[in-house]
Structure formats: C-alpha cells, structure tokens
C-alpha cells in the first residue's frame, strides 16, 4: 500500500519511503487529468460552478504529495530524493502545460470569463475567475500549436535547470569545512561558538574544531574571529558556491535560465521576463520597480558611504587596516556597534533561549489574534528535530496544524522558509483548516547549553512565523486564493511586520528571560536593541537594493543572449551599489537561490517594497498600542485572513484607512 495514495489528514512522513514518490505522483497526475476531463466533457453550458469552481478543486491529491516531496527536497534531502526530483519535474511541467494549453478547457474558462459582468459574483469569486483566466492566457493558451510545443520544451528545461542550480549550491556548501586544530586560531570566538565547532568535529570523528558554511557556524566566525586570514578563507568559500571549477559550477545554468525565461516571455508577447512577472504584481512594471529602487538608493547611498568611511576609519585606527574587505564587514561592524551602544550579541544570547522565543511568539499571537498553541507528539514528522503543535482559537475552535523545524543538518539547505502541507478552503459546509510549517537553521543546543539565539535569529523566527500566521489564519472559500497565495510583493508584509515586536519592551518582557536565572532582559539592553536597530541601516539598505537591482538586471534586459560572463555582468549590475572591493573568485549570482531556484525572479525588490508597507502598518500599531486589539483585529480581518481574494492595495487600505507612504520606513531606518 502506498501511504501517499491513501486518504490522510496530516502527512504520513514515517510511512513514506523514497520508492513511494514516483508511483504516487504518477497516479495523482492521472487522477488530476480525470478530474479535468470531467469538466471538459460536461455537456452543460459552462458556468462559474461547473467550470471555475470545479477547476479550482482539481489536483488536490497531486498538490499534497508534491508539497510533501519538495519540502523534503529542501529540508531533508538525500541523493535518492534529488534523483527523484529530476525525474518528476518534467512530468509536473508537462502536466501543467497539458492543462494550460488544452484548447477545449480554455474555451470553457473563456466562456465563463466573457460573461462575468452578468454573473453577479462577489469580489472573491471575481478574483478566482480573473486569476484562473489569466493563468491560461498569460501562459500560452492563446498560442498556435508550434509555439505551444516550444513553450512546453522551455518549461521542461527550466524545471530541470532550477533543480540543478539548487543541488549545485547545496553540494558546494556541504563540500567545504574548515578544520582547526590549534587553539590560537580560535581567538575572539565566544565559548558557545567553540563548543559548537568542537561538537561538529566530534560528529566527523575529528579532533579540534570544524567550521562549516551553515549559518550558525559561519556567521559567528566571521563576526568574532580575530584571525583575518581565517575569516577570509571562510568568506571566500561562502562566496564561491556555484563558481568553482567543478561539476557544481552554476555559470552555464544561470545563463541558460535567464535566456530561457527571456525566450518564454517573448513567446508570450512580453518584452522581458520582468515585464511578464510584474504585470501581476503591485509594482506592475520593471520601470516602476526601478523608479522605486532608485528613489530609495538616492536616500540610502549617502548614508551608506558615510557609514562605510566611518567603519574603514575605525578598522584602520584599531588594526591599521588600509582597505576594508568583505570578510571584515561583520567583524568590525560588531566591534563598532559594541563600542557605540555597549551592546554585545553574546550578552543578549542567554536571554533568547529557543524554547522561550517560541513561547514568546505564541504569546504575542495570542494577545494579537486570540490563538493558542499546544505541542503534541502524536503528529508524524520527517525528522526528530521537528516540533508539532495543535493551534486553536481562545474559544477552542481548531485553526491549524503547525510544524517547526529549527536546526541545520546535512540534507537541509541554508536559510529559512515557510511552507504549507495542506491549504485552507471551504468545501461543502466544511472549512478545511491548513497545515503550516516553518523551517530555519538556528544554533543547535550543545552538551552544556540549550539553543541560544542571536538577535538576528530571533527576528528570523518572528519573520517566518509572520508568514505562518498568514497561512494559519487563512479564511477564504477557494484554495488558490488562500493564505500566502497573494501578490509576491505583498507576501512579505505579514512576515516583516511581525519582526517589529522584537524591538518593543512590552513584547520582549514576555519571553526574553535568562536561560539560567529566568531574569527578564534588563531594560537597558532593550533600549540598546532599539537604539542600535538603525545601525548601519544605510549599508543594509544598499545591500538589499543591490540584490534587487541585480535581479532586475538579469530579468529586465532585452538581450540576455549577449551575456557571456556571469561575473562581469554581475559586476556591472553592482556598480552603483558597490562599497567593498570585488573578490575575484566570488559571485553572488551562482548561488542566488531566491531568483534561480525559488520564486523570486524579477521579484527580489519585494522585500524592500513590503518594508514600506510593514513600517507604515506598524506605525499604526505604535499609535494605538502594540497589543491594541482593534488594530490587530483589522490586520487579521483585512490582511491575514483574506489571502489573495482582492487586490492587495484594497486590502491594505481597508486595514490602514489610507495608502502607505515610504516616510515611516525612512524614519525607522534613520535615513530622514
């Protein structure tokens, strides 16, 4: 019996073996095709119910199986899973195209769409119909047969290439380790960092200390190590993932992806991939994204240059360094920050025990949105590190299942993300509730200490939990409009707004307690956290803008086929935002997973775009009180629960009462 083909509520992880995936996905594709065939062969006149709603309900089994599979390919991959991913990606790409390029099906969708004015639909129904019709028309339904065949070929190739890209980045990351046996090489490192590195060494049957490119190992090393050459070694290794002369080189992969995306956009009648993507985003066009980015750049660049000069002077005064390099950035920034604000990350960590921070974010969700979280051990997981919770409202109604996976391991890619194993939707008279998961890479507990988070890790947890709330509180009729199924430049609002609570005394008092004494974080630390929040904000803004501008350069250019060198092209794209000297053997693009593996192509700007929304939204909370029930309820009702049922700006204005302005962001960042 294949567990993936049985009816299940929560994912049956412990029963699934690798051999189950391909037959299950194959069968689920067949089932989805049958469901679509029922719509096509229905002899009745196409209506909203027998076509639009029926189509939204198709492919549920396929969606659930592939969601499980692809999250495991990111969180707990193996050679076997990677091989399966390569085999099934073309199947899924072909299935998607079989549906979108099916003339009979599109004809039915178009019949309903063409008479939408006479159907008396509510806004959510209108949005479903609009989204569905555009899903076809924007992806080739109107093409002739020759062009449809060409589109299929491109999509199959793109699905293979993005998988290849991710595998190469992971392989290069896993292949590197820095093994130290001389204790003098550890000068400057906090005890907890040394202890963690010793445990990594022991796990590899080595003496001494091992540092890797996993963030909890990499970041503290480059931040605290007094050994400049070793910081350089680690930073250069991090920066050359996908650029080395080995089988994991991503240069050709990047150029192929960019060219195929451009070709695809042209085939569909768009000038560039960015024009295609942005048509359906809040930003609407590459021109608007560039205008937005350049406006912020003009405000951030003078501040960034001042901050950089000041940091360079500081390094020179302290250690006689004439030229600040990328591997000096975190080290001297942390030293200067400590000097200016008397604030040390290591001083803060004892107050951020992982379990307490989890408890804190749950308490904040309860105060704001009336949610209760109960850890339960009976839900199946794919790894012993994964925690599972039953989420209810304060009156006991079931809201969601919540999974949380916090620590790095070999088969897990770096970074942090939220995913969903089951979408919320209303079927018949049942409101089917979602199953939501967050995956992070936080400092592991050691033999003598629990998992103590850096402040940056605390904000990351809040960020991903904000996405999770968007999924958990979803309350829409249709699954394709539910939860985080919103415009990409709106999706970061719930995640980024929640980060603001990490800086507020009232919130920190709930969970920032010393792991040994239970003493609440001293208020002077809270003040310092707040004071230092805009430290080097000019440089941070410039860095974030540089990634967004690089993304637009790759995807809004009219002739990518003329690009021959990934590295040279990237250097040109970074020209306006560059502060540090270039490192010849490093390249951002060859490991830029957000845009070449994830869904952020022509969309990386959305982090900054959503920051304007989040600063403006949080200003409302600050005006009324950060736990003000009325404001929180408005946010829940008009943003978190509504998913993509209406245009984002409509939802935002309904919550805020007005359109957002960038002033709150610039003020928060200390740029005005």
Q: What angle do CA 388, 489, 123 make, to 5 degrees?
A: 85
Residue 464 is among the residues annotated as catalytic for this protein = yes
Q: Check: CB of residue 247 under 8 Å from CB of residue 583.
A: no
Nearest to 506 by CA among 486, 518, 521: 521
Q: Could you tell me if 397 and 467 are in contact, meaning their C-beta atoms sit under 8 angstroms apart?
A: no
- Collapsing DSSP to helix, strand or coil, 377 comes out as coil
Q: How far apart are CA 311 and CA 332, in angstroms?
A: 7
d(CA 347, CA 341): 12
Q: Specify which residues 375 forms β-bridges with.
A: 389
Q: Residue 13 in contact with residue 79, Cβ under 8 Å? A: no
DSSP 8-state secondary structure symbol assigned to residue 636: I
b/e burial code for range 304-340 (CB count within 10 A of at least 16 → b): beebbeebbebbeeeeeeeebbbbbbbbbbbbbbbee
Alpha helices in 244-402 (DSSP H): 251-267, 273-278, 286-319, 329-341, 345-348, 354-369
Give the Cα separation of 264 and 158 in Å (integer): 10
For residue 25, give the DSSP letter. Answer: H
Helices 354-369 and 455-472 pack at an angle, to 10 degrees, of 40
311 touches 332 (CB < 8 A): yes
Q: Is 343 helix (H, G, I), strand (E, B) or coil?
A: coil
Active-site residue, from 60, 346, 457, 464: 464
Q: Name the DSSP letter for residue 42.
A: -
Exposed/middle/buried for 46, CB within 10 Å: 0-12, 13-18, 19+?
Answer: buried
Nearest to 259 by CA among 651, 7, 504, 566: 566
Closest CA to 96 of 27, 33, 24, 143: 33
Distance CA 421, CA 89 (A): 19
**DSSP per-residue letters across 555-599:** HH-S-GGG---HHHHHHHHTGGG--SPP-TT--SGGG-HHHHTSS
* Residues β-bridged to residue 430: 427
Distance CA 136, CA 186 (A): 58
Q: Which residues are catalytic?
A: 464
């Amino acid at each position: 019996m294949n567990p993936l083909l049985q009816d299940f509520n929560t994912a049956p992880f412990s029963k699934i073996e690798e051999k189950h995936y391909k037959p299950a996905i194959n069968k689920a594709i067949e089932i989805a095709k049958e469901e679509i065939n029922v719509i096509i062969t229905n002899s009745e006149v196409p209506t909203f119910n027998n076509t639009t709603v029926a189509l939204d309900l198709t492919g549920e089994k396929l969606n659930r199986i592939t969601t499980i599979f692809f999250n495991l390919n990111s969180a707990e991959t193996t050679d076997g899973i990677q091989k399966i991913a390569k085999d099934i990606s073309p199947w899924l790409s072909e299935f998607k195209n079989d549906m979108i390029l099916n003339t009979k099906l599109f004809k039915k969708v178009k019949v309903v769409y063409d008479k939408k004015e006479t159907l008396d639909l509510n806004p959510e129904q209108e949005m479903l119909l609009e989204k569905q019709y555009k899903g076809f028309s924007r992806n080739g339904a109107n093409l002739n047969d020759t062009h449809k065949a060409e589109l299929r070929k491109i999509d199959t190739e793109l699905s293979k290439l993005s998988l290849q890209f991710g595998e190469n980045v992971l392989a290069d990351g896993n292949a590197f380790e820095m093994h130290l046996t001389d204790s003098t090489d550890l000068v400057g490192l906090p005890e907890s960092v040394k202890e963690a590195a010793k445990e990594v060494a022991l796990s590899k049957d080595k003496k001494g200390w091992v540092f890797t490119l996993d963030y909890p190992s990499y970041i503290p090393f480059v931040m605290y190590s007094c050994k400049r050459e070793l910081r350089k070694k680690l930073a250069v290794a991090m920066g050359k993932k996908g650029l080395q002369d080995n089988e994991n080189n991503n240069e050709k992969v990047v150029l192929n992806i960019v060219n195929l995306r451009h070709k695809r956009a042209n085939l569909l009648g768009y000038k560039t991939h960015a024009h295609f993507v942005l048509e359906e985003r809040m930003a609407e066009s590459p021109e608007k994204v560039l205008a937005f980015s350049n406006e912020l750049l003009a405000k951030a660049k003078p501040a960034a240059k001042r901050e950089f000069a000041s940091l360079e002077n500081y390094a020179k005064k302290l250690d006689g360094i004439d030229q600040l390099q990328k591997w000096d950035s975190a080290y001297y920034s942390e030293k200067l920050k400590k000097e200016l604000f008397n604030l040390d990350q290591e001083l803060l960590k004892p107050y951020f025990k992982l379990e307490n921070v989890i408890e804190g974010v749950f308490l904040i969700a309860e105060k704001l949105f009336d949610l209760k979280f109960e850890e339960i051990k009976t839900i199946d997981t794919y790894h012993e590190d994964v925690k599972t919770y039953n989420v209810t409202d304060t009156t006991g109604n079931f809201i969601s299942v919540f999974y949380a996976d916090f620590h790095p391991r070999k088969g897990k890619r770096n970074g942090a993300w939220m995913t969903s194993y089951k979408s919320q939707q209303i079927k018949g008279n049942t409101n089917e509730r979602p199953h939501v998961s967050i995956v992070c890479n936080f400092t592991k507990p050691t033999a003598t200490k629990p998992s103590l988070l850096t402040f940056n890790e605390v904000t990351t947890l809040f960020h991903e939990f904000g996405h999770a709330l968007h999924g958990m509180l979803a309350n829409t009729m249709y699954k394709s409009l539910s939860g985080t199924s919103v415009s990409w430049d709106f999706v970061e609002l719930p995640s980024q707004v929640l980060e603001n609570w990490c800086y507020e005394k009232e919130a920190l008092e709930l969970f920032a307690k010393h792991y040994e004494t239970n003493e609440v974080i001293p208020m002077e630390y809270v003040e310092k956290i707040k004071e230092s929040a805009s430290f080097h904000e000019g440089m941070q803004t410039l860095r974030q803008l540089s990634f967004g501008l690089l993304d637009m350069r790759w995807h809004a250019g009219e002739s990518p086929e003329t690009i021959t060198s990934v590295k040279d092209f990237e250097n040109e794209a970074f020209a306006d935002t560059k502060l540090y000297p270039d490192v010849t053997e490093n390249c951002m693009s060859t490991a830029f997973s957000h845009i070449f593996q994830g869904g952020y192509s022509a969309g990386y700007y959305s982090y900054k775009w959503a920051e304007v929304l989040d600063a403006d939204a949080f200003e409302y909370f600050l005006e009324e009180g950060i736990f003000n029930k009325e404001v929180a309820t408005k946010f829940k009702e008009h943003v978190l629960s509504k998913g993509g049922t209406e245009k984002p700006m409509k939802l935002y204005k309904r919550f805020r009462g007005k359109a957002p302005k960038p002033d709150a962001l610039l003020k928060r960042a200390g740029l005005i």
